[in-house]
Amino acid sequence: MASYSIIARRYSKALFAIARTHNTVTAMMDELLRLQRAAQECPALVPALSAQEFDMRQRKRVVDAVAQLLELGAIVRDFVKLLVDKQRVHALTEIVAAYQRLVDEQAGVIIATVTTATPLIDCNVLSRIEQVIGRLKDRRVRVESRVDPALIGGITVRVGDEIFDGSVAADLRRMKKQLLRAAI
């Protein structure tokens, strides 16, 4: 499970509480994902909203323009303005991820983090892992994919506190222990 900063947890919980009172949890998640995608596709956006060279009015006009372009609702627009005011825009990605966790938790979805040495190109692998874990845990599952070249090969799957390690690195560690025990 990812560790989110105190800032991300605090802001995501507040936004989630607002979304629940307005019955817009899913719609707000969609808006946040659109905003996050825009920030990824335009890497200058977050730095521009944080830049001290621009006065607060200019930065908020940028937020208004982005909100209109992405068809964001007033709550998300105002939330981003709050992040600008509090100089917390840099935490946007973390806040969105923490909000997604709250949405998943409410829906009873568990997260399976699949880590491989190289990016998985075959989406069928992830969907099969999702199905297997869903049957094992008797819950809905959302798979997050990560890459860690240190695994050398194979795969690790983390679900909560459980780790299923089928990596080459783990096999090598096990073999090393066996050889050390045999040498004694």
Strands 140-147, 109-116: pairing is parallel
Residue 82's alpha-carbon distances to 9, 15, 103, 110, 179, in angstroms, are 15, 11, 21, 30, 58
pLDDT per residue, tens digit, the chain (184 aa), is 455 589 999 999 999 999 999 999 999 999 999 999 999 999 999 999 999 899 999 999 999 999 999 999 999 999 999 999 999 999 999 999 999 999 999 999 999 999 998 988 777 888 898 999 999 889 999 998 999 998 888 889 999 889 988 888 888 888 899 888 988 7
CATH number of 6-104: 1.10.520.20
- Sheet (strand 154-159) strand order: 140-147, 109-116, 154-159, 162-167
How many C-beta neighbours within 10 Å does residue 53 have?
Answer: 7
Residue 165's nearest CA partner among 180, 152, 181 is 152
Q: So where are the chain's domains?
A: 6-104, 108-183
Residue 154's alpha-carbon distances to 111, 123, 171, in angstroms, are 20, 16, 10
